[in-house]
Structure 1
Amino acid sequence: MGDQERIEPRALLEKQQEDILQCPFPTVKERTNTLLRLKQMLIDHEAAFIEALVSDMRRPAFEAFSFEIALLLNEIEYVCRSLKRWARFERSYQFKFGYIEALRTKRSPYGSVLIISPWNYPLQLALMPAISALAAGNRCVIKPSEYAPATSELLHKVVSQTFPPELVSVITGDRQLAKQLTTLPWDLVFFTGSQETGKAVSQQAAEQLTPVILELGGKNACILDETGFSPETIREIVWGKFLNAGQTCIAPDTLFVHESVYERTLSEISAALLAFYGEFPNDSKDYARICHDRHFQKLLHVIAQGKVLYGGTYNADDLFIAPTVLTDIQPGSSIMQEEIFGPVLPVIPYTDLKSLLDQKVIQRDALVAYVFSKNKQHIEWMKNYMRSTTVSVNQVIHHGANPRVAFGGVGRSGHGSYHGKAGFLSFSYEKTDYNAYRYLHVSDKFPPYSDQDMRIVRKFRKWLL
């Protein structure tokens, strides 16, 4: 299959919608074959994708494979194993007065889906929702981020060589293209990105009455109480925070530490960072860079809001910001309100967890909350306090790689979820075939009504309606 020509967006949408009229419900076998082609595409072009990810963000090859390609391969295999079961018809029968009700329900695809993906994981976050969309029987158009140009162009090239445009297509361009796309009458829009842009996408989609799934950011609090401290715990937290130079939507955003282990925690954080990235992290092949200059400048402003305990150095020419630990955060600082999304970790001591939660400094509807503790009451407090779809106990990041865990936000962190079955359900809707088999004609339901009719309805309402 040759390269797709770069089709104008509206024409591409119309092409997909015409194809939907011809084949609205791809079979499970057809969907599985599509996913397996996607899997083979990733395998065949693995080296090229890793090279593109390294080019865009100086991404360590280990991270590029582990958190982009491997996650996608695992997701495809899990979905292919489960799809037949998820797509199965559900049947039920009910006896009514005068007829038998036969119901047959199944999940039906929305149709043509627009996926707008971000720059921080430019391959994974473009294709992960596409896996869910295709599994549910949709067609999809992917708009990757212009801030990851090498990955975006490669994705366009290999997708166009693998799939016809009426099934899967990638469109590259800037923000203006994204705005143009969201004004078109898609059947569903899936957006991953900032809260500000998510609001704009929702407003534009609302003009077309198009349903939207939003995967936004959030300040993911990480609680370390007096029972949860250990050097191993600190290594987990540091790894999760500084993975991809902190540019991970489910990274621990701010670390709250019980005062009894605060000083030891600071010491262990410094030791872990030194062990991970060395004395000169700018020379480490295992440390990524900030994606673009605008975000780089924002992070410099974040660093200025506290006392630098570790790191703090940067190089604008290389978009490098060292792993940085902040203490003594200034009261009222924006760092306590806005997602950091970078290699800056504020560490804040607290005296009592209940009092900390009562202060409402922790965002309840973050994407995830982390708690490291052996205290069951503390864990339950966090679970009850948070509105997040996930509360992760004694581990960071790993839940996002598990296809059995629904990945999504609530409130300010978005709405809707995907990964595994959650994605299959989000990219489809329930459709019911309703059949009635009459064995007795009942005339009392027609007007004019009598008092006798009312008495019958009251007595036999469960069988009449």
Structure 2
Amino acid sequence: MHDNDFLKTLPERQKEELFSTGRPSLEARKKQLLKLKSIILEHEAALTTALHSDLGKPVFESFSSEIAVLLNEIEYVCKHLAKWDRPVRSQHLKLGYVEAIKRMRHPYGSVLIIGSWNYPVQLTLMPTIGAIASGNRCVIKPSEHAPATAELLKEIINQTFPPEQLHVVTGDAQTASELTSAPFDLIFFTGSTKTGKAVAEQAAKQLTPVILELGGKNPCIMDETGYSKTAIREIVWGKFLNAGQTCIAPDTLFVHESIYEKTLDEISASVSAFYGDRPEESGDYGRICTDAHFQKMVELIGQGIVRHGGTHDQNDRFIAPTVVTDIKPDSSILQEEIFGPVLPVIPYTDLKTLLSSGTLQRDSLTGYIFSKNKNHIQRFKEHMRSPTISVNQVIHHAASPHIAFGGVGSSGYGAYHGKAGFLAFSYEKTEYQTYHYLRFQGKFPPYSDRNMKALKVLRKWLL
């Protein structure tokens, strides 16, 4: 942990360095990104070991959902950065002059990135890629709830990059509070809605812009036409990936009553096929991150009838993939984001009634529907406010650099990934020039009725 003076002066040092050297060239930014890629590759084994220590992540999940996604993002950004970075020029003929406009993207300066514990490599370095691509200097604060990963990121990044360029600071919530009070030019936060509100409130005192990537109860609907064994496997995989600790996991599954029982049977069959009858012995299933979160999951399991799973071991922070049914409408499991390996499965009779019931969180990070009925799909898309709607698939959209990732309303604001990340960490800076071929003196005081009449006639050419 660093002392307070270091935390307070680091953003100013980064801004001074950026001001004195100017915005990094395109090639310099690509070089930084490729350097980041090289240390990810060089320390791949150490990263997967740290992820297993923090979350019990299988190597396959560590690589596919964290490392591979980052490598793909860096390669995509490097490939397209020159095009995104190119100034946009235009000229417009006016009465008496020609205006020339040059619009460019400009880095904010010193950016603070606060990562999350559930994907502690990906969700810490993914926004860093966008920040570097735009030309910013960064301070990264990984989550203290994934300590092995946080310490490893600190070691490999701080020994590779100078602190005036990119620096990792570890510590607890107090450290995060001190950082959000420091004079950064932009703050990027991934985490809970409660903490996100606190970050935004603190940043507002200094008028620091904030990007918030929060959570939500992502609804998943399977209508009477959407059932298949393949669809069930997709939902089970997406729900129990990373032991359910995924912000875009299907939170609650709503199933048409006509296929309800066979859906429950197939969910159990898929869970057993994935993790065996003793998932605690499976090398392909993770663990809960903290004791407090473990206790929350145990409490949620008790709010319904366990259809599958339900076993748990606090010493190992293990909770089996669990399916619960027959839940009372006012239960907290139906009100709060679950963020764990507990899947409520709720029957419904009519899609229109379900959508109008107020049960679904309309501004969740994403919404899922499994259906062959185009009218149902369209109705669901129109009902949801979520920035992304995924049809007959879960999770995969978040790995695509072609798709902006972000929330709306209670799931956050701002978006990143690919070009969206480049835009998120920069602002538009405009150079404006005029070339006069005639001077219109009537724009100066004292004003006259004659000039007013001329203004009304010629306003499109004057303004």
Normalising to structure 2: TM-score of the pair? 0.99
SS of residue matched to 1:444: helix
Residue of structure 2 equivalent to 1:395:
393
Give the CA deviation at 1:67.
0.6
Alignment root-mean-square deviation, CA = 1.1
Q: What does residue 340 of structure 2 align with?
A: 342
| Mapping of residues 201-280 of structure 1, within 5 Å | 201-280=199-278
Whether the 8 Å CA contact 1:6–1:171 is kept in 2: the answer is: no
What is residue 297 of structure 1 aligned with on the other side? 295
Contact 1:108 1:430 in 2 (8 A): yes
Could you say what secondary structure the match of 1:396 adopts? coil
Inter-partner Cα distance in structure 2 for 1:154 and 1:326: 38
Deviation at 1:333, TM superposition (A): 0.6
Tell me the percent identity.
Answer: 63
Q: Which amino acid aligns with 1:141?
A: V
Give secondary structure in 2 for the equivalent of 1:162.
coil
1:51 matched to 2:49? The reply is yes
CA distance, structure 2, for counterparts of residue 11 and residue 144 of structure 1: 19
TM-superposition CA deviations, 1:237-273 (whole Å, max 9, x none): 0000000000000000000000111011000000000
Aligned-partner Cα distance in 2 for 1:135–1:144: 20
Residue 447 of structure 1 is matched in structure 2 by: 445
In the alignment, the residues of structure 1 paired with residue 55 and residue 88 of structure 2 have an alpha-carbon distance, to the nearest angstrom, of 47
1:387 shift after superposition: 0.4
Quote the Cα distance in structure 2 between the aligned partners of 1:69 and 1:36: 14
Confirm whether residue 412 of structure 1 aligns to residue 407 of structure 2.
Answer: no
Gaps of 5+ in 1: none
Alignment of 1:361-440 (within 5 A): 361-440=359-438
1-side partners of 2:424 and 2:55: how far apart? 31
Encode CA deviations 1:394-449: one digit per residue, 9 max, x unaligned: 00000000001110000000000000011111111111000011221211111111
**Contact map agreement 2:217 2:364 (CA 8 A) in 1:** yes
- 1:328 corresponds to: 326
Q: After superposition, give the CA deviation of every residue in 1:282-332 in whole Å (9 maximum; x if it has no partner).
A: 000000000000111111111111110001110011100000000001120
Inter-partner Cα distance in structure 2 for 1:7 and 1:136:
27
Cα offset, 1:6, TM superposition: 11
- Matched-pair contact (CA < 8 Å) for 2:12–2:183: no
Aligned equivalent of 1:356: 354
How many positions carry a matched residue from both structures?
462
CA contact (8 A) 1:245 1:288 kept: yes
Is the partner of 1:8 in helix, strand or coil? Answer: helix
Name the amino acid aligned to 1:286.
D
**1:162-221 deviation digits (Å, cap 9, x = unpaired):** 111111100000000001110111100000000000000000000110000000000000
Rounded to whole Å, the distance in 2 between the matches of 1:170 and 1:7 is 16
SS in structure 2 of the partner of residue 404 of structure 1: coil
Alignment check: 8 A CA contact 1:215 1:409 kept: yes
Specify the SS of the correspondent of 1:395. coil
SS in 2 for 1:267: helix
Matched residues in 1 for 2:42 and 2:211: separation? 31
* Match of residue 181, structure 2, among 172, 178, 183: 183
CA contact (8 A) 1:314 1:322 kept: yes
Residues 368-402 of structure 1 show CA distances to partners (whole Å, capped at 9, x for unaligned) of 00000000000001100000000000000000000
Cα separation, 1, equivalents of 2:230 and 2:253 = 16
Alpha-carbon separation, structure 2, partners of 1:5 and 1:445 = 58
State the Cα deviation string for residues 73-102 of structure 1 (Å, max 9, x = none): 000000000100001010000111111100
2:299 is aligned with what amino acid?
H
TM-score by length of 1: 0.98
Could you tell me whether the CA contact under 8 Å between 1:308 and 1:324 is conserved in 2? yes
Amino acid at match of 1:215: E
Per-residue Cα deviation, 1:87-118 (whole angstroms, up to 9, x for no partner): 10100001111111000001111010000011
The whole-number CA distance in structure 2 between the counterparts of 1:339 and 1:23 is: 45
- With 240-249 and 4-13 compared, the bigger mean Cα shift is at 4-13
Query: Which 4+ runs in 1 deviate beyond 6 A?
Result: 4-7
Q: CA deviation at 1:354?
A: 0.6
Which is further off, 275-284 or 437-446? 437-446
User: Residues of 2 paired with 1:307 and 1:5: CA distance?
Assistant: 50
SS in 2 for 1:34: helix
Query: What whole-Å deviation, never above 9, does each CA across 1:48-84 have from its counterpart, x for those lacking one?
Result: 1111111111110100111110000000000000100
Instruction: Trace 1:135-174 onto structure 2 (pairs within 5 A).
Output: 135-174=133-172
Q: How far apart are 1:23 and its partner, in Å?
A: 2.3
Which amino acid is the alignment partner of residue 161 of structure 1? Answer: Q
What one-letter code is carried by the residue in structure 2 that aligns with 1:71?
Answer: V
